[in-house]
A and B are shown apart, each in its own frame.
Chain A
Amino acid sequence: MNFMTALEIIVSSSLLVAAPLIFTALGGVFSERAGVVNIGLEGLMIIGAFTSIVFNLTFAKTFGPATPWLGLLVAMIVGGIFALIHGLASITFRADQTVSGVAINFLALGLAVFLVKKWYGKGQTDMIVQNFRKIDIPGLSHIPIIGDLFFKNVTYASYLAIIISFVVWYVIYKTPFGLRLRSVGEHPMAADTMGINVIRMRYVAVFLSGVFGGVGGAVYAQTITLDFSHATITGQGFMALAAMIFGKWHPLGAMGAALFFGFAQSLSIVGDQIPFLKDIPSVYLLIAPYVLTILALAGFVGRAEAPKADGIPYIKGQR
């Protein structure tokens, strides 16, 4: 195997693994920028994965190749609604946001597996037939070298994730909505004084985090696992959380971090096939995202600081 082939395998599998992380991390950015800590990203991914697989299995015959995209759409809606439970507990009921997030994770897994057992009579669904396939992107894949590296054997979802990151960046940093969202997370009292409805803003942000988390889960399930069981999402949500922090709560930073974590993950998976990587124990690559995140938080890789009011319930009139 020559160097180019090795690189092609690594790049295409990195993009594949990174796509769901990017979407979910963007969801985390929305919620935490508005001041609601979201440990429940894992649960939101579970709900997204579950919804998309169930939809896909039920409607694959009706919609044909469009099914995975429609599955994505349904996962978005269900994920968003599910996230509102987190919103209700942590915004209106003023519950500890971390605790509520933990409960979201429990609830998502319990509910999803409960329903799978109820509907399919077993703990694991069948494999879906209509999935996001690896394709060569028309036109772009003919560019010499770059085309081979980046545009062959990839899914549309990976590129969609990267494009959406820029959209999210624009929305959060260049629009009035984004400014309000950030102000609610930095100084909710000041925002309230300026006439921004803090509670509504936070609900919208949590809803969006569910939408993106749902997409992340749906993309993961429909490209990588292709079925749903209790072991479909194991830690991807927490890795997305890490990506968001490593990316300093910034959409593009989160995307970059997610790509990098995807790279580390894929190295640990495909490393066996690549001659000069075979000797590195995969455990180093597996723990790399988490170690790096800790280092980033500690300030060794550029200090990561959370929005000021992240994790603090807003109580009107309280100073």
Chain B
Amino acid sequence: MSNKYINILIPIIAVLLGLIAGAIIMLISGYNPIAGYAALWNGAFGQTFYIGETLRQATPYIFAGLAVAFAFRTGLFNIGVEGQLLVGWIASVWVGLAFDLPKIIHLPLAILAAMIAGALWGFVPGFLKARLRVHEVIVTIMMNYIALHVTNYLVRNVLSKQKDSTAHIHNSASLHSDFLQKITDFSTLHNGLYLAIIAAIIMWFLLEKTTKGFELRSVGFNQHASHYAGMNVNRNIVQSMVISGVFAGLAGAMEGLGTFGYAFLQPDFSGIGFDGIAVALLGGNTSIGVVIAALLFGALRVGSLNMPIEANVPNELVEIVIALIIFFVASSYIIKWAIGRFKREAK
């Protein structure tokens, strides 16, 4: 069995194992797993409205997944997508509120603001890693909490007058789409979906088809060899975190300019960034994989809301299933071992 085949097989096995474990948990705790998963399916795909919601939820997941995947491919672990997303969200809403411009300028400007904010938040851990060899995982976690408190402060004191949320952004900065809403029975689906797909293509092109992408990947594989080959390792580390931050900031713009159209006080993280880690891992850190995994996670998250209504199952079940999927993907060593074992016995 070729390596490529196994790499596709592992995520599928992980998802199946996760769903089976979820079913067992439902059985043990006295719920009907078939009814539970039927409710999940109906809540994600049952009506065109729900399909629209699933796609809308998948949009930021694609960006968050790309952010994590991009960093992974270049040998870095960006666990700071949550924070980069929040600053991107705030920056886009800020521009959306502060200016009154024609749409053709205003919308790109608001998106650009989110990109810059995310890039800045990614730059700090990248710089510290490149210059001082500080591990990026810890720094990005700390940056998450700094982002959470700073953005909450901004919502309350700068973007509103001691209120819990900002005003709605001007229409000229909105990603709102009449067409997409109409075909999905007035769900909250917005134009960001197109941007997400374009971003996935850009990441694929950048990593696979350009010299820069080759450099970034090679630094991820082996820093010493890359250094020996004359690549500037430090610069590549910083660039990688910055690009990753840009993707994450764009995920924030999806929420700020698309789904909500405003910013509000966050008691805790949105969870999109952490789910993005799962999306990237499940998608094998490739563009196409991330898009597929994001659709799956969008469906799981949106569909889960229907589970308590239709089957009386707490929607946290999906949280458990997602956690288990992450475990299984991360433990791919044992799955590979089991596949190898299985193959040998079959012979």
Residues of A within 8 A of B (CB): 37, 39, 85, 89, 92-96, 98-100, 102-107, 109-111, 113-115, 117-118, 231, 234-235, 238-239, 241-242, 245, 281, 283, 286-287, 289-291, 293-294, 297-299, 306
Residues of A within 8 A of B157 (CB): 281
Per CB-CB distance, the 5 closest pairs between chain A and chain B, nearest first, are A110-B319, A107-B323, A106-B323, A95-B330, A93-B331
Nearest CB of chain A from residue B159's CB, rounded to whole Å: 14
Whether B327 contacts A109 by the Cβ 8 Å rule is no
Check A103/B323 contact, CB under 8 A, given A98-B77, A118-B314, A234-B268. yes
Residues of A within 8 A of B274 (CB): 102, 105-106
Judge if B316 is at the interface, Cβ distance under 8 Å.
Answer: yes
Q: 1/0 per residue B99-137: CB within 8 Å of A?
A: 000000000000000000000000010001000101101
Whether B268 contacts A231 by the Cβ 8 Å rule is yes
Judge if B231 is at the interface, Cβ distance under 8 Å.
Answer: no
Docked Cα-Cα span, A235 to B134, in Å, equals 22
Whether A290 contacts B146 by the Cβ 8 Å rule is yes
Nearest CB of chain A from residue B229's CB, rounded to whole Å: 24
Q: 1/0 per residue B72-93: CB within 8 Å of A?
A: 0000010100000000000000
Whether A245 contacts B138 by the Cβ 8 Å rule is yes
User: For window 139-175 of chain B, which residues contact chain A by CB distance below 8 Å?
Assistant: 139, 141-146, 148-150, 152-153, 157
Nearest CB of chain B from residue A103's CB, rounded to whole Å: 4
Q: Considering only CB atoms, which chain A residue lies closest to B77 in the complex?
A: A98
Nearest CB of chain B from residue A283's CB, rounded to whole Å: 4
Check A110/B320 contact, CB under 8 A, given A102-B277, A234-B267, A238-B145. yes
Interface size on B, residues (CB 8 A): 48
Whether A93 contacts B146 by the Cβ 8 Å rule is no
13 contacting pairs across A/B (C-beta < 8 A):
A93-B330, A93-B331, A93-B333, A98-B137, A99-B329, A106-B326, A110-B319, A113-B314, A283-B150, A286-B149, A297-B128, A297-B139, A298-B134
Nearest CB of chain B from residue A5's CB, rounded to whole Å: 28
Whether A298 contacts B281 by the Cβ 8 Å rule is no
Whether B326 contacts A114 by the Cβ 8 Å rule is no
The dominant DSSP class at the B interface is helix
Residues of A within 8 A of B318 (CB): 110
The dominant DSSP class at the A interface is helix
The number of residue pairs between A and B whose CB atoms lie closer than 8 Å in the complex comes to: 137
Nearest CB of chain A from residue B147's CB, rounded to whole Å: 9
Nearest CB of chain B from residue A3's CB, rounded to whole Å: 28
Q: Which of A99, A238, A297 contacts B281 (CB 8 A)?
A: A99
Whether A95 contacts B327 by the Cβ 8 Å rule is yes
Q: Which of B132, B277, B324 contacts A107 (CB 8 A)?
A: B324
Docked Cα-Cα span, A286 to B331, in Å, equals 36
Whether A294 contacts B323 by the Cβ 8 Å rule is no
Q: Considering only CB atoms, which chain A residue lies closest to B317 in the complex?
A: A114
Docked Cα-Cα span, A115 to B317, in Å, equals 10
Residues of A within 8 A of B132 (CB): 297-299
Nearest CB of chain A from residue B181's CB, rounded to whole Å: 31
Residues of B within 8 A of A241 (CB): 138, 141
Residues of B within 8 A of A245 (CB): 138
Q: 1/0 per residue B316-347: CB within 8 Å of A?
A: 11111011101101111110000000000000
Whether B330 contacts A100 by the Cβ 8 Å rule is yes
Nearest CB of chain B from residue A203's CB, rounded to whole Å: 16
Judge if B2 is at the interface, Cβ distance under 8 Å.
Answer: no
Whether B323 contacts A39 by the Cβ 8 Å rule is no
Whether A107 contacts B145 by the Cβ 8 Å rule is no
Whether A95 contacts B77 by the Cβ 8 Å rule is no
Residues of B within 8 A of A298 (CB): 128, 132, 134
Nearest CB of chain B from residue A319's CB, rounded to whole Å: 16
Q: Considering only CB atoms, which chain B residue lies closest to A300 in the complex?
A: B132
Docked Cα-Cα span, A283 to B158, in Å, equals 13
Whether B330 contacts A89 by the Cβ 8 Å rule is yes
Q: Considering only CB atoms, which chain B residue lies closest to A239 in the complex?
A: B145
